[in-house]
Structure 1
Amino acid sequence: MLQIKRLVDIEEIRATQQIEEKVWKMPVIPIHQTYTASKNGGMILGAYDNDELVGYQYSFPGFKNGKAYLCSHMLGVLPTYQKGGLGEKLKAAQKEWALEMGYSLIVWTYDPLESVNAYLNLHKLKGIAASYLENHYGMMEDPLNKGIPTDRFLVEWWIRSDHIQGEQKNDEVQSYEPLIETELNKRQFPIISSEIEPIKNKKKDIILIPIPENFQQMKQQQPSLALDWRYKTRKWFQELCLNDYVAVDVKRNSKEKVSYYVFRKRNSLSLVGNEEGKL
């Protein structure tokens, strides 16, 4: 039976390093850092299957523009437990403990072209992708990031807001056509068949932008195509963010092997009660 609890003992926290090694295959965060963060406004959660640690989540406190928030830095699940909803359960537990600790905002980063992460972060959790960070970590050598710039979306999760309580407006979204058209190549990967018109000249309430369904597979089999998606979507996403659009949802299209980001104007959302929240 799976159980999630907050880790406070240094040896419990040390056990998370084994998962970190197996998931990312790179040097682990020193235990003195994670343990100290856990004692000073941070949080480390462990997911157990009976007595075996199978997943964890590590957060530390952040502060910017007069606001304190929780920075969700790492979430790792053993390969045999992935795709079973454990990541979502860890985020739900993180939210509940963060509320008890007095936080209103949790932030984290993810690769904008990873459709599974995008679907969890925006569709299921109802975070918003509001900032685009170009090559955020520099070029990395781990298997998940090697060979491509580490562009990231910064997710803002306003856990006390009206936004995360409401239902997504699916019917409204369906009436909008994406600004980018795609088609499948001989290897059944999506390629961009039409370019986007300048965002700054648009006054649309909703903008749809596609991303590949399986970016990791594309990176392995057609790395040049993966780079093409990185550089073109970088341009589009940066322009959207500069014009006060935020990604609020993800819609899947398995037939075309893409997922579509749903962008809306930030001021159309209820992020902190009835007030607009901003990091």
Structure 2
Amino acid sequence: MTLDAGPLASQAAEAATAAAAKAGVLVVDEHDRERLRDVEGLLISIWGMSPHGAPVPYDLLRSISHAGCNVSAAYDRAGRLCGAAVGIVTPGGTATYSLIAGVLPGTGDRGVGFALKQHQRAWSLARGIESMTWTFDPLVSRNARFNLTKLGAVASEYARDFYGAMLDDINANDESDRLVAHWPLVSERSVQASRGLPGEVEFDPRTRVKVLEYGPDQQPGLFQADGGLWCRAPEDIVLMRATDPGQAGQWRSHLRGILESSLASGYLATGVTRSGWYRLSLTDPS
């Protein structure tokens, strides 16, 4: 269900403030020149440097901010930068496109990332923008759960090798397949999620009997159940890339085959369990 965007601008601002308070941070639209240099440094500390340079260089951050687009920065109670998110506005002002979002290593469970996304939601709705789009690696189940379950986004498009070869510290020369997240900022599901009430999904593979495929680890990887499909991502693909790149490549091919064909057939990725199972549905829960 889609709600009226006007009143939701105030709701989004209140939700963003509450999320920041819970995480113990202050989230601001950053324009200061020197602090934008700190944002560049933070992004490097998360993704590392590639042969192409910083994930988002300072001069580009400066230009994005100057153009009136969004550079969100989260500061802890000591005034230390601990997270950042960068967004631009698509042609016609119809959506915000989130380029990158990350938090300081070691702070991932404090809710800083959630506070940043709620700030971006409030920023967008204050400008009459009702949706946000970004891409994420489907193999990183923790991020997938954050995007599809905790925020209330959905994914209907699989983009194979979206960026080409990725040479940063996290992607470790893996192919850059991505799911395209669409976040309807005015849906009832997104509103509830902004209040800390996400639509959790649960799946117990022990109760399902219709196995359609097995994963690279020879365990069930795809089930048909409850009128939809459930497919599994590996527990920690970042560690696997570092310790067993061959198996990481097998997981890339396995999940690509399932998600690419399922989404092309009309399924939507609508949620991820805590244990890394994607829920693929034929109806949009938003």
Q: TM-score, normalised by structure 1?
A: 0.80
**Can you list the C-alpha shifts for 1:177-236, whole angstroms capped at 9, x where unaligned?**
6745658xxxxxx71446769xxxx89732111111111122222221111110011011
Match of 1:264 in 2: 281
Q: What does 1:109-258 align with in structure 2 at a 5 Å threshold? A: 109-165=135-191, 168=199, 170=201, 179-180=211-212, 191-193=217-219, 205-253=227-275
Q: What does 1:85-124 align with in structure 2 at a 5 Å threshold? A: 85-124=111-150
The structure where strand makes up a greater share of residues is 1
Report SS of the residue matched to 1:252. coil
- Any stretches of 5+ residues in structure 2 without a counterpart? 1-23, 193-197
Match of 1:274 in 2: none
Identical columns (%): 26
Q: What does 1:15-26 align with in structure 2 at a 5 Å threshold? A: 15-26=38-49
Whether the 8 Å contact between 1:57 and 1:76 is mirrored in structure 2 is: yes
Whether the 8 Å contact between 1:132 and 1:241 is mirrored in structure 2 is: yes
In 2: Cα distance, 1:195 partner to 1:35 partner: 44
Return the offset for 1:38.
Answer: 2.4
Return the offset for 1:169.
Answer: 7.3
Whether the 8 Å contact between 1:181 and 1:192 is mirrored in structure 2 is: no
C-alpha spacing 1:44/1:207, structure 2 compared with 1 (3 Å): same
- Asked if 1:43 is matched to 2:70, the reply is yes
In 2: Cα distance, 1:223 partner to 1:262 partner: 26
Match of 2:5 in 1: none
Return the offset for 1:270.
Answer: 5.8
Q: 1:61 aligns with which of 71, 85, 89?
A: 89
Q: TM-score, normalised by structure 2?
A: 0.78
C-alpha spacing 1:178/1:110, structure 2 compared with 1 (3 Å): farther
- Any stretches of 5+ residues in structure 1 without a counterpart? 184-189, 254-258, 272-279
Which residue type is aligned with residue 209 of structure 1?
A: C
C-alpha spacing 1:120/1:195, structure 2 compared with 1 (3 Å): closer
Which residue type is aligned with residue 53 of structure 1?
A: L
Q: 2:109 aligns with which of 83, 108, 113?
A: 83
Which residue type is aligned with residue 83 of structure 2?
A: G
Relative contact order, CA 8 A, sep 6+: which one is greater?
A: 2
Q: Note the aligned Cα RMSD (angstroms).
A: 2.7
- Range 8-17 or range 158-167, more displaced: 158-167
Whether the 8 Å contact between 1:24 and 1:142 is mirrored in structure 2 is: yes
Number of corresponding residues? 251
Whether the 8 Å contact between 1:177 and 1:208 is mirrored in structure 2 is: no
**Can you list the C-alpha shifts for 1:72-122, whole angstroms capped at 9, x where unaligned?**
111121113233221111111111111111111111111101011011101
C-alpha spacing 1:242/1:41, structure 2 compared with 1 (3 Å): farther
Whether the 8 Å contact between 2:149 and 2:201 is mirrored in structure 1 is: no
Report SS of the residue matched to 1:132. strand
Whether the 8 Å contact between 1:179 and 1:209 is mirrored in structure 2 is: no
